Chain A
Amino acid sequence: MRRSLAATLILSTTTGTAAVLVAAGLLLNVLVRSSLTDQFDRALLEKAGLLAAGVEWENGNTDLEFEDLDMREFEGPESSAYLELWRPDGSALFRSPSLGTADLERFAGPDGSAAFASVALPDGRPGRAVGMTFAPREDEDDGSEGGAKTDRGTAAGSRRKPAPALTLVMARSTAPVDAVLARFRTVSVTVGLATVAVTAGALWVFVRRGLRPLDRLADQIGGMGEQDLSQRVRLARAPAELEPVVARLNDLLSRLESAFQRECRFGADVAHELRTPLAGLRSTLDVALLKHRQPAEYQEALGRCLRISVQLQAMVERLMSLARLDAGHVEVRPEPVSLNAIVCDAWRDLAASADARRLRVKWSLGTDFTIFTDRSLLGLAVRNILENAVVHADAGGSVTVETSAAADGAELRVANSGNRLSEEQASHVFERFWRGDAARTNTGTHSGLGLPLVKKAIEVLGGGLKVRTVAGGDFEITIVLPRDSPSTCAGGPQGALTEPPP
């Protein structure tokens, strides 16, 4: 499943908030409960203290003097408070009316101090009880009122007897505290839920707003056609986090654009270059077919067509070689190769055209040395360099071919006279379809592909090349080949680079 940034953010933040709120609520609940219970216990103890103080030891009898106290809470079955007093022997001395005949649990703290306990009240409700052991107040005055409440049965004649330790347990219903706590819980849960909801809602809004630049980015990118790569992403008020993304994206777009333009230009150039010989072919055939002719005329037309198709083939082969080299679909199989032998091989196909142009060829081949390189690729490069020299030398001019051992490999220098290129123009000779004379239509042999092919092949062989021009003098290309060419085994369909003789 895809992870949504917004959902992740909202979910994690909301969960975190909820967890904090739950923890805080629980803590608060504990604190409030203990503080309320404390208060409750204090009130309980206070009342119990008052009750205990109301118990007198008089003439060996206990006297309960509760008249001054508010005893309403202990009366009747509907009461919420209970009181029971025990004699030291465990017999009940007093039961509040609310108790009826039931008993409270008898307990007290150590050494008679007050102790608290949560208890179940006789009617089953939860309650809180305080238990204590105390000695009743001794009263020396005789015959005070309240005789009705005097326990005479056990202590008759026990005057001067020390007061016995009585146990008092008083319990009250905790309903009011529970009600407060319940209300507190309701309120805190409500507030907590509302907080979580509001947090989630606000987050949703903020996150969406924060991510809106991403939507705009997506819209902009979505609106770009593959035909127009000149568009750039422009995000007004882009957050800092997105700026590098936008910058990289625009960078990528401009690189794509220039590559695309290069491809388009190359495609247009290819179409244009193929059109001219095709037009020659077609118009020759068209004209030949205009009427019935003598066999000799047909022969001439056919011969012309053949020459054109050879030129076309040479051009297509060069294009194919370039395309394969570009795609890396060429296997470099280094083997021991004699540069001199390669040069001589390549010249064999060119000697006739050099003679036809009355070119003087100056040979300066170094001692035969061997380099470790790909025979067919090097042959392709050398053939094209030599052909370029033969084609571009002025008629009756000269071509110089020189080989030598270089510091770390071999060097081939080819120069031709009759250079018409300036230094600036010469820097373009390796661009595809570039021609020294911008107006010259391709005539098959000068396709503007030869030197680019040389450059590509030499690059693949790990060598280098440079151009030198002398205005009105020589045009010179030097290639330097390493002693060992890197071997490559590219994937994809393999094809030997071939080119028909020009």
Chain B
Amino acid sequence: MKILVIEDYEPIRSSLAQGLVEAGYAVDATGDGEEGLWFARSGSYDVIILDLMLPTVGGLTILRRLREWKDAVPVLILTAKDTVKDRVRGLDLGADDYLVKPFDFKELLARVRALVRRKYEAKSPAIRVGDLEIDTRTRSVRRAGRPVVLTAREYAVLEFLALRAGQVVTRTELWEHLYAFDAEPESNVVDVYIGRLRKRLEGMKGPRLIHTRRGLGYVLGEAE
């Protein structure tokens, strides 16, 4: 999952970025409104965390532009403005959630997870594909009831595939949702992770889970 943080107060921005990365997200962060808008437009983010008071372009303007472009990316507003009027204005402009500073980082993570679920129309934090179970709260994976140990990156690939289980996910999509803007992974990095995932999930006995659609991408579970 990839998250964009637009927040001009450096201590918040850098701690958010660090915390989110450590939670397994790919994170782009900027303190400038205009740059944030450019990121939002060019990247494929699963959630945007948006401060309202920003230099150059304000947070509400960014939100309005995004919605004008029919960009449905979930937006979480993070601001010190806590009046009902402010919240209503933000939500009415198309924000999906609103968190007032100072905030609990664990709550922020939970809200981000909820926004991701909503984006992929998953109601429950637990995803089931065949005999594969993924708990997005604890980031734990079990297959046929037995725990599977994954690295953060492997988990991220699996979760993204699982959220879109039954659909073909292209390499580019996977890549875009797994890496921050300034990351420079090897070109075949997606294939490498898919290979590792297969080994860990299918090394044990059981039917094949991740199918390759030649020239298209990958499908988790049976294609619809």
Contact = CB atoms under 8 A, between A and B. Distances in A.
Main secondary structure, interface of A, reads helix
Interface stretch (B48-56, B113-121, B154-162, B184-192): B48-56
A443 interface: yes
Interface stretch (B65-73, B97-105, B136-144): B97-105
B58 interface: yes
Interface residues of A, number: 29
Interface in A338-388: none
B197 interface: no
A283 B102 contact: yes
A443 B10 contact: yes
Given A276-B80, A279-B101, A284 B15 contact: yes
Given A276-B101, A290-B22, A283 B53 contact: no
A279 B103 contact: yes
B22 A280 contact: no
Contacts of B104: 282, 286
A66 B160 CA distance: 152
Interface in B26-82: 33, 51, 53-59, 80-82
Nearest to B21: A287
B3 interface: no
Interface string A427-444: 000000000011111010
15 contacts: A272-B80, A275-B100, A276-B12, A277-B11, A280-B15, A282-B105, A283-B15, A283-B16, A284-B15, A287-B15, A287-B18, A287-B105, A290-B105, A441-B51, A443-B10
A278 B102 contact: yes
A202 to B, nearest CB: 57
A440 B53 contact: yes
What interface size band does chain B fall in?
20 to 34
Interface in A26-40: none
Nearest to A440: B55
Contacts of A271: 80
A275 B83 CA distance: 13
Contacts of B56: 439
A291 interface: yes
- Among B11, B56, B57, B103, residue most surrounded by chain A Cβ atoms (within 10 Å): B11
Given A275-B102, A281-B11, A282-B103, A287 B80 contact: no
B9 A276 contact: yes
Interface string A254-294: 00000000000000100111011111111110111011000
Given A290-B22, A304-B15, A439-B53, 9 more contacts: A271-B80, A279-B102, A280-B10, A281-B102, A283-B102, A287-B22, A287-B105, A288-B15, A439-B33
B105 A272 contact: no
Interface string B90-133: 00000000001111111010000000000000000000000000
A177 to B, nearest CB: 92
Interface of B: 8-12, 14-16, 18-19, 22-23, 33, 51, 53-59, 80-83, 100-106, 108
A287 B21 CA distance: 10
Nearest to A288: B15
A41 B215 CA distance: 150
Contact of A280 (B12, B53, B59, B81): B12
A439 B10 contact: no
B214 to A, nearest CB: 40
Contacts of A278: 101-102
Contacts of A281: 11, 102
A129 interface: no
A293 to B, nearest CB: 10
Nearest to A273: B80
Contacts of B82: 275
A75 to B, nearest CB: 111
Nearest to B7: A441
B105 A440 contact: no
A170 interface: no
Interface in A278-332: 278-284, 286-288, 290-291, 301, 304, 307-308
Contacts of B59: 439
A103 B104 CA distance: 126
Nearest to B12: A280
Nearest to B58: A439
Contacts of A284: 11, 15
- Among A287, A291, A304, A440, residue most surrounded by chain B Cβ atoms (within 10 Å): A287
B101 A286 contact: no
A441 B11 contact: no
B22 A291 contact: yes
A307 B15 CA distance: 14
B108 to A, nearest CB: 8
- Among B15, B16, B81, residue most surrounded by chain A Cβ atoms (within 10 Å): B15
Contacts of A282: 102-105
A441 B50 CA distance: 13
A21 B106 CA distance: 91
Contact of B106 (A277, A286, A308): A286
B216 to A, nearest CB: 37
